[in-house]
Amino acid sequence: MLFHLARLITRLARTRGWAVPVAVVVFVFLTSWPLMALAEPAGSRIVEPTVYWWYFVVTAATVGYGDFFPTTVAGHAVGAYVIVGGIATLTTVFARLASMLERAKGRRMQGANPVNATGHIVLFGYAPGRTERIVAELLAETRRRVVLCAWDEVATHPVPEHDVDFVRGELTAEDVARRAGVDRARAVLVDARDDNEALAVAVTVHHVAAGAHVVVALRDLARASLLHHVNAGIRCVQWHTPHMVTEELTSPGIAEVYTELMTPGGTNTYSTRLPDSLGPVLVTDCQTALGRRYSATLLAVRTGENLLVSPDWRTELPAGTVVYYLSQRRLTVEEITAALRGSSTPSRT
């Protein structure tokens, strides 16, 4: 008897539908109630309609509060029948729930689920090592959700250790972009396997995206002009600088600033050593004097072996400090000296 009962429970646990556990609990309830009425003496409260459903639920769930219970041997047998039916039902329900969770996890790991998010960042393309670095930097710099889209050959979630959604498919397909929620994204990175593929993916992203900041990593930045024919707002970043990619995604427009700084003829970065004759100088004097007279901006200073980027304005710079600044042209030592002597203040004494 126990062997057959175990086989029955095992078969029920393997079923996928919800109809079987519902049918079992209904059958056990409808058969146990009249049996309990026959087994218990007349007038027993346990068979009253307002009581038996409670007794059935508590007993089938194997909780057993003990507020109502059968008093006869036959009634005990009916109670055991209810317990077995409850165990079979619960086993089937839990197996069904476990199966659903396992399938949901499988679909997520295989990139089949659509992403339900808004204001997130979408990455198109996967390169081992490089993508992990970009993802780690994005998660460290922003609290926004990140979605990774990869090709079909990436069979399972490549970065499951990170809290990142995964979508798999042909990256130039519109349905993949929509499953990744590109139409609701804040920023999109196209990090393809080559520049030709990057152009094709960018066209799809432009078609689906609704106001997202689109960044494309290119091996050859000369191709940026082709992307600007698609959308003049697309920002192109050198593929070999992944940190700049993440900066552009989190701070839109920063890549253009870097490009301007590295372009001859525009505002550039320079360095010079302050002459010993100036003596100690406050950072605030450097900022105000160079800014007012030459529209230059102090970026960093090096005092001996220490490099201070964006130093505190109250910092005192010893004689011989190297200063790094932004300017339209390189300033001579004489120009810097004259500017600083003209802005000297008692605060340095």
Q: Which fold has domain 268-348?
A: Alpha-Beta Plaits (3.30.70)
Q: How far is CA 259 from CA 88, 210, 263, in A?
A: 69, 26, 6
Residue 325, phi then psi, degrees to nearest 5: -145, 160
Collapsing DSSP to helix, strand or coil, 294 comes out as helix
The CATH number for 121-261, chosen from 3.40.50.300, 3.40.50.720, 1.10.274.10, 1.10.238.10, is: 3.40.50.720
Tell whether pTM > 0.85: no
Which tens digit of pLDDT belongs to each residue from 276-331?
888 899 999 999 999 999 999 999 999 888 899 999 999 999 989 999 999 988 99
Domain map (residue ranges) of the chain: 2-109, 121-261, 268-348
Could you tell me if 295 and 267 are in contact, meaning their C-beta atoms sit under 8 angstroms apart? no
Contact 285/345 with Cβ under 8 angstroms? yes
Q: Residue 255 is which amino acid?
A: A
Architecture of the structural domain at 2-109 = Orthogonal Bundle (1.10)
User: For the segment 186-218, what is each residue's pLDDT rounded down to a tens digit?
Assistant: 999 999 999 999 999 999 999 998 789 999 999
DSSP state of 187: E
CA-CA distance, 216 to 335, in Å (whole number)? 42
Whether 173 has a pLDDT exceeding 80, the answer reads: yes
Per-residue pLDDT tens for 217-255?
Answer: 999 988 999 998 888 889 999 999 999 999 999 998 888
Cα–Cα distance, 266 to 260 (Å, whole number): 6
CA 269, CA 257: separation in Å to the nearest integer?
12
Residues 278 and 316: beta-carbon distance below 8 Å: no
Amino acid identity of residue 55, one-letter, is: Y
**β-sheet bridge partners, residue 8:** none
pLDDT at site 210: 77
Between CA 259 and CA 60 the distance in angstroms is 71
